[in-house]
């Protein structure tokens, strides 16, 4: 489909955004700014009532007014009714349930995109595999890249990747998102983009721990670089393309999440290094920390594939086996010397 046709069609879009957290709300606001009508769905009636009353998402995205072309609803039927496009932005643990629900209500001709980053915690599958199982034969796409919700909501320049096996659908979603200060690139490598979006959250916990222990910029740079090597190893083993890991969804999102305190995963690492329990740290952050559930799924995946992911493994051991942050650091430092490449 030609780009000019896609652009013309996108101006008529009525989009269902499923997930009223910070990222779902930010993307809904972006789509409205781009001239589309959006129904934002959340499963908690009290939260949706508050969005309608306050005209903003005070719980997850305070201080950003909701556009007039955005309507909030707790009814999935209402959100999907007459939708020309559907974007899922729920936590990874809820992705399968939401996908199965909308499969019964959304016409097969309508593709589904998602901006969820993580693995299915029950099966360890990448989310496109879950989507294929749940949604049947339809166009699918994943949106990922270096993007904090607050910055997108405030209109700060951002660039992301839209990946799909269906090139026309990738272009469709990219046109919907593309705006004056939001650039969307397309890719056909769904596997690579999804691995990056999931695994970088685990590595952000690692860098948060290192910074919290006072290890400095040298350590942070080493963790990011060697973490990238882990992303490439597991991603290419699953069928992802190496160049994807050098792009926005890979090194771009990895650097962002590991170095800025807007990252909930980095803040989790900082809290653990300060001696907080996992439960206390999660309560203080107050939102989903995807790296926590992904660490377990990634550890199981790497074990099944026989792939070394030492940084991710130590994060898993801190979160699930009671290893102290200091002990995990010693385990990494005591590994045998080896060639950097090969």
Largest CA distance in the chain: 59
Tell me the pTM: 0.94
Which segments are annotated as binding site? 19-24, 43, 117, 145, 147, 149, 200, 253, 263-265, 290
Contact 52, 84 (CB under 8 A): no
Main-chain phi, psi angles of 123, to 5 degrees: -105, -20
Query: What are the sequence ranges of the domains in the chain?
Result: 3-188, 191-333
Structure tokens at 91: 């936590």
Is 172 exposed, middle or buried (CB count within 10 Å of its CB: 0-12, 13-18, 19+)?
buried
Which segments are annotated as binding site for NADPH? 22-23, 43, 117, 149, 264, 290
Task: For the chain, 342 residues long, give each residue's pLDDT as a single digit of tens.
Answer: 334 433 444 456 899 999 999 999 999 999 999 999 999 999 999 999 999 999 999 999 999 999 999 999 999 999 999 999 999 999 999 999 999 999 989 998 999 999 999 999 999 999 999 999 999 889 999 999 999 999 999 999 999 999 999 999 999 999 999 999 999 999 999 999 999 999 999 999 999 999 999 999 999 999 999 999 999 999 999 999 999 999 999 999 999 999 999 999 999 999 999 999 999 999 999 999 999 999 999 999 999 999 999 999 999 999 999 999 999 999 998 888 888 886
Pairing of the two strands 112-114 and 85-88: parallel
What is the distance between the alpha carbons of residues 36 and 28, in angstroms, rounded to a whole number? 9
CATH for the stretch 191-333? 1.10.1040.10
Q: Catalytic site residue 200?
A: yes
Catalytic residue among 12, 200, 242, 284: 200
- Give the number of other CB atoms < 10 A from CB of residue 44: 11
CATH architecture of 3-188: 3-Layer(aba) Sandwich (3.40)
């Amino acid at each position: 489909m030609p780009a000019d046709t896609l652009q013309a069609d996108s101006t008529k879009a009525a989009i269902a955004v499923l997930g009223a957290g910070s990222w779902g709300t930010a993307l809904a606001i972006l789509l409205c700014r781009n001239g589309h009508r959006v129904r934002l769905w959340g499963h908690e009636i009290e939260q949706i009532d508050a969005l309608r009353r306050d005209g903003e998402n005070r719980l997850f995205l305070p201080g950003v007014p909701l556009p007039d072309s955005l309507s909030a609803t707790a009814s999935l039927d209402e959100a999907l009714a007459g939708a020309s496009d559907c974007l899922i932005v729920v936590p990874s643990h809820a992705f399968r349930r939401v996908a199965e629900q909308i499969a019964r209500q959304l016409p097969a001709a309508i593709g589904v995109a998602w901006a969820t980053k993580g693995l299915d915690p029950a099966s360890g599958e990448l989310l496109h595999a879950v989507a294929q199982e749940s949604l049947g034969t339809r166009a699918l796409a994943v949106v990922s890249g270096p993007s904090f919700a607050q910055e997108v909501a405030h209109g700060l320049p951002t660039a992301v990747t839209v990946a799909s096996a269906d090139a026309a659908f990738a272009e469709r979603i990219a046109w919907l998102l593309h705006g004056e200060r939001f650039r969307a690139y397309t890719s056909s490598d769904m596997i690579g983009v999804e691995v990056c979006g999931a695994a970088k959250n685990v590595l952000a916990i690692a860098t948060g721990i290192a910074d919290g222990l006072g290890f400095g910029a040298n350590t942070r740079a080493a963790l990011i670089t060697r973490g990238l090597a882990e992303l490439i190893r597991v991603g290419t083993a699953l069928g992802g393309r190496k160049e994807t890991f050098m792009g926005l969804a890979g090194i771009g999102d990895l650097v962002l999440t590991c170095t800025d305190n807007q990252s909930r995963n980095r803040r989790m690492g900082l809290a653990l290094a300060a001696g907080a329990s996992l439960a206390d740290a999660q309560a203080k952050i107050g939102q989903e920390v995807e790296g926590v559930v992904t660490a377990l799924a990634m550890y199981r995946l790497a074990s099944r594939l026989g792939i070394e992911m030492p940084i991710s493994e130590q994060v898993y051991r801190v979160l699930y086996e009671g290893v102290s942050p200091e002990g995990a650091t010693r385990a990494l430092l005591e590994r045998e010397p080896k060639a950097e490449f090969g």
